[in-house]
Amino acid sequence: DIQLTQSPSFLSASVGDRVTITCRASQGISSYLAWFQHPSGKAPKLLIYGASNLQTGVPSRFSGSGSGTEFTLTISSLQPEDFATYYCQQVNNYPFTFGPGTKVDI
Amino acid sequence: EVQVVESGGGLVQPGGSLRLSCAVSGFSFGSHWMSWVRQAPGKGLEWVASIKQDGSSKYYVDSVEGRFTISRDNAKNSVYLQMNSLRAEDTAVYYCATLLRHFWRLEYWGQGTLVTVSS
């Protein structure tokens, strides 16, 4: 199975900050990586698919980059509604594994 | 508007069974794959299973293979997860999500249903 690691696991930030989260895959997955936002007690929300494609309706302050084994999610200017846990997910091979998550807190 | 609604969660004893249901509306259900994803208390997201549009292909995470079965009824716009031989480690919120073939996007999610396995 493909393993994903995320760094950092916890991030303390302020409104307006630029935030970057990194996801690394145990083997190459081309661009088959997605990013999700998961607020506590709510449904996860797809932000980015195909490593860099913004899902319809997602604000442009979110962006993704990378290919192969290293990927990043960037939030250009953190907003109050962005405080949540963020997960990467590889969809190159079954099982479609998730990273361990990065909690973004105030 | 797409709506995804899970049901069927609850408290079950170890070794017991439970069937989760997921109803989808406002969406071309029969044209899309579907998936189940879970989150155990204090843990991260874990993909559980996926099923093709016509039910001819199914995939499972190793930890549930042979115990869980994903199925669907396109006439009812519904997908199901039959869970047998349940273990304490299956305790989780179970989410249903649509799976778009293009880059395998988990696009629309329900609010989840809680399954608790305990004696």
pLDDT in tens, B71-105: 999 999 999 999 999 999 999 999 999 999 889 99
Phi-psi region of B56 (alpha: psi -120 to 50; beta: other; left: phi over 0): alpha
CA–chain centroid gap for A12, Å, is 16
For chain A, 106 residues long, the average pLDDT of each consecutive 10-residue run is 97 96 97 97 96 97 98 97 96 95 94
Alpha helices in chain A (DSSP H): none
- What is the percent of chain B with per-residue pLDDT over 90, rounded to a whole number? 97
Among candidates A44, A38, A45, A2, which has minimal Cα distance to A23?
A2
- Shortest distance, CA A55 to any CA of chain B (angstroms): 9
Query: How many A-B residue pairs are in contact by the CB < 8 A criterion?
Result: 62
Give B61's contacts in chain A (Cβ within 8 Å). 95
**Distance between CA A92 and CA B108 in Å, rounded?**
20
Q: Does A10 touch chain B (CB under 8 A)?
A: no
Q: In the prediction, which pLDDT does A19 show?
A: 97
Give A36's contacts in chain B (Cβ within 8 Å). 45, 106
For chain B, the 3-state helix, strand and coil shares in percent, each to the nearest 5, are: 15, 55, 35
- Using 50, 70 and 90 to split pLDDT, how confident is the model at B109? very high
- Using 50, 70 and 90 to split pLDDT, how confident is the model at B27? confident
- Shortest distance, CA A40 to any CA of chain B (angstroms): 11
Give B95's contacts in chain A (Cβ within 8 Å). 43-44
Decide if pLDDT at B60 tops 90: yes
Q: In the prediction, which pLDDT does B30 show?
A: 93
Query: Is the Cβ pair A38, B105 closer than 8 Å?
Result: no
Burial class (CB in 10 A: 0-12, 13-18, 19+), A14: exposed
Q: Which two tokens stand for residue B44?
A: 């991260």
Supply the mean pLDDT for chain B: 96
pLDDT digits (tens, 9 = 90+) for B38-55: 999 999 999 999 999 999
Q: Does A103 touch chain B (CB under 8 A)?
A: no
- Bridge partners (DSSP) of residue A20 are A74
* Strand, coil or helix: A52: coil
